[in-house]
Amino acid sequence: MRIALGCDHGGFPLKAKVAEVVKSCGHEIVDLGTDSSCSVDYPDYGLTGGLAIARREADRAILLCGSGIGISVAANKVPGVRAGVCHDTYSAHQGVEHDDMNVLCLGARIVGEALALEIVQSFLNARYTNEERHARRLAKLLEIERRANSGEWTQAS
Ligand code: RB5
């Protein structure tokens, strides 16, 4: 798979190790920066990661910030993105298997390196099952997204 990898300065300390694991699992990295510990704004990197998915420049993305929260909120604003913060291996594979999660977000200030790398592997090895109940729920998510983007909930009548 092509895996987009992006982070802000809070996630930067984990980035190189995550890239190593992604490559050692046989995947290609689409590097979205940032490339140093200099302070940057997580919405910029959440957006870039989300766009990599929306534009099909990557099959999945891994996004890192200090907590995982800000960058996941930003990425989830992009249509087609299903980003989740996972700080355990169960969520990282179940999120893909049941929810077709396509973006993994990690907080480099929350999880240690060893756990983070196991979480990354769980995410990469998981596949969406497409079982009937999961497909039904995914269709409902996509319908929420369609309606949100149509403006029907926000336009004045
Ligand atoms: C940066 O200091 C920090 O706020 C950011 O990495 C992230 O944790 C936001 O959710």
- All structural domains of the chain, each given as residue ranges with its CATH number in brackets, are 2-129 (3.40.1400.10)
27 catalytic? Reply is no
Residue 6: C-alpha distances to residues 54, 75, 76 (Å): 15, 11, 14
What was the pLDDT predicted at 120?
98
% of the chain with per-residue pLDDT over 70: 99
| In the predicted structure, residue 7 carries a pLDDT above the cut 80 | yes
What was the pLDDT predicted at 155?
77
Ligand 1, closest atom to CA 67? 8
| In the predicted structure, residue 91 carries a pLDDT above the cut 80 | yes
Residue type, 92: A
| E strand or H helix that includes residue 61 | strand 60-65
| In the predicted structure, residue 157 carries a pLDDT above the cut 80 | no
Residue 81: C-alpha distances to residues 17, 28, 59, 60 (Å): 24, 19, 11, 9
- Please work out whether the CB of residue 105 comes within 6 Å of at least one atom of ligand 1: no
% of the chain with per-residue pLDDT over 90: 97
- Please work out whether the CB of residue 69 comes within 6 Å of at least one atom of ligand 1: yes
φ and ψ at residue 71, rounded to 5 degrees? -70, -30
- Please work out whether the CB of residue 102 comes within 6 Å of at least one atom of ligand 1: no
Q: Which of 7, 9, 27, 65 is catalytic?
A: 65
φ and ψ at residue 141, rounded to 5 degrees? -60, -45
What tokens appear for 54 in the block?
């929306």
Query: Can you state the angle between helices 113-125 and 12-24, rounded to 10 degrees?
Result: 40
Output DSSP code: residue 27: P
**pTM flag (> 0.75):** yes
Nearest CA to ligand 1 atom 7: 66
Task: Give mean pLDDT, residues 23-42.
Answer: 98
